[in-house]
């Protein structure tokens, strides 16, 4: 299969590229830069120049492919104040709709990306694949709303929902928690720190994207979850040990000053299950756990 991959040079996308190629697929990778083009060529992929704002480029990439994996997301929202998040989510909706335009009335799969939090039906209970609230307060819901919209127009669309995806360099939102701890000189959690975040190693996530693409089951949702929930206290403690800074408990009021925009997530309990995903796809994650990867980080030096 010839696969058009957005986000092909990013943290997850650059891991999906060899996953697809090693399974016998061809990869057409989206990139906007010369450096990205060089890395794709070196990995054995074909280069497709463009970006998420250039909708015609997205359409043309999808049109000349047998399937699409859309894992690009403009992370400019994750800056100092999170003020661009709604704008970035709207951009993702437009990108999904453009990709869908090129795949209408065909069985060619479109695998889009969302977050596991979209599957939280009951507070404190793990998010599941069979639940989605189109009125969810998180603007990230827009990706799944767009996926449902293109599906109504005859697109074979499915969704991979991401937790905190990690290796020994990056760990999703936890990367920003590390940055805050370094800047503030303390690693923090809120209250007792019992709220949980789901996680999965990036290699396992890349494998799941491939399985979802090959299954091309319209309307399916998959949770890329290896660990249902790692407590924020445990995360804060390993960060504290790594940075050699104190670990402290904060009140909700203190959290805003410490975490900044990350405070809106730092105290949220958002466990997630992948039981349905594992059953449907035969996906069984084997990578290191989140804490194990954090323990292997290079905390100091280059």
* Phi, psi at 267, each rounded to 5°: -105, 5
Report the run of H or E that residue 13 belongs to, with start and end. helix 13-22
Q: In the chain, what percentage of residues exceed pLDDT 70?
A: 97
Indicate the average pLDDT of the chain.
Answer: 95
pLDDT score at 84: 85
Per the listing, tokens 């979209």 go with 118
pLDDT score at 302: 44
pLDDT tens for each residue of 153-162 = 999 999 999 9
pLDDT tens for each residue of 216-247 = 999 999 999 999 999 999 999 999 999 999 99
User: What band does 300 get if pLDDT is binned at 50, 70 and 90?
Assistant: confident
Q: What is the mean pLDDT of residues 116-142?
A: 91
Q: What is the mean pLDDT of residues 81-89?
A: 83
* Domain covering 2-166+201-227 in this structure, CATH number: 3.40.50.720
Q: In the chain, what percentage of residues exceed pLDDT 90?
A: 90
Q: Which of 154, 207, 197, 147 is nearest to 177 (CA)?
A: 197
pLDDT score at 85: 87
CA angle 138, 200, 290 (to 5 degrees): 105
User: What band does 197 get if pLDDT is binned at 50, 70 and 90?
Assistant: very high
pLDDT score at 79: 61
* Phi, psi at 247, each rounded to 5°: -105, 125
Q: Burial letters for 246-281: b for 16+ Cβ neighbours within 10 Å, e otherwise?
A: ebeebeeeebeebbbbbbebbbeebbbbbebbbebb
pLDDT score at 123: 84
Q: What is the mean pLDDT of residues 200-221?
A: 97
pLDDT score at 135: 86
pLDDT score at 110: 98
At residue 82, does pLDDT exceed 80? no
At residue 9, does pLDDT exceed 90? yes
With beta carbons less than 8 A apart as the criterion, state whether 262 and 180 touch. yes
At residue 126, does pLDDT exceed 50? yes
User: What band does 83 get if pLDDT is binned at 50, 70 and 90?
Assistant: confident
pLDDT tens for each residue of 14-49 = 999 999 999 999 999 999 999 999 999 999 999 999
pLDDT score at 81: 65
pLDDT score at 78: 67
């Amino acid at each position: 299969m010839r696969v058009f991959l957005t986000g092909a040079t990013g943290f997850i996308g650059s891991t999906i590229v060899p996953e697809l190629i090693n399974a016998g697929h061809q990869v057409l990778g989206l990139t906007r830069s010369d450096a990205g083009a060089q890395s794709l060529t070196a990995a054995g992929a074909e280069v497709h120049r463009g970006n998420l704002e250039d909708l015609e480029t997205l359409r043309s990439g999808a049109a000349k492919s047998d399937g699409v994996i859309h894992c690009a997301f403009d992370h400019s929202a994750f800056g100092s104040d999170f003020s661009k998040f709604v704008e970035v989510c709207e951009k993702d909706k437009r990108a999904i709709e453009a990709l869908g335009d090129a795949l209408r009335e065909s069985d060619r799969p479109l695998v889009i990306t969302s977050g596991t939090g979209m599957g939280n039906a009951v507070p404190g209970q793990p998010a599941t694949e069979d639940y989605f609230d189109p009125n969810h307060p998180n603007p990230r819901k827009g990706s799944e709303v767009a996926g449902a919209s293109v599906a109504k127009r005859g697109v074979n669309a499915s969704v991979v929902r991401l937790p905190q995806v990690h290796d020994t360099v990056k760990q999703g939102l936890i990367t920003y928690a590390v940055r805050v701890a370094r800047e503030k000189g303390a690693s923090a959690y809120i209250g007792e720190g019992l709220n949980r975040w789901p996680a999965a190693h990036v290699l396992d996530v890349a494998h799941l994207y491939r399985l979802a693409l090959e299954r091309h089951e319209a309307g399916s949702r998959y949770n890329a979850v290896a660990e249902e929930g790692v407590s924020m206290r445990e995360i804060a403690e390993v960060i504290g040990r790594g940075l050699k800074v104190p670990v402290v408990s904060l009140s909700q009021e203190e959290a805003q000053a410490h975490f900044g925009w990350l405070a809106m997530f730092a105290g949220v309990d958002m466990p997630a299950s992948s039981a349905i995903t594992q059953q449907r796809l035969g996906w069984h994650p084997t990578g290191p756990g989140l804490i194990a990867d954090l323990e292997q980080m290079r905390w100091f030096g280059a």
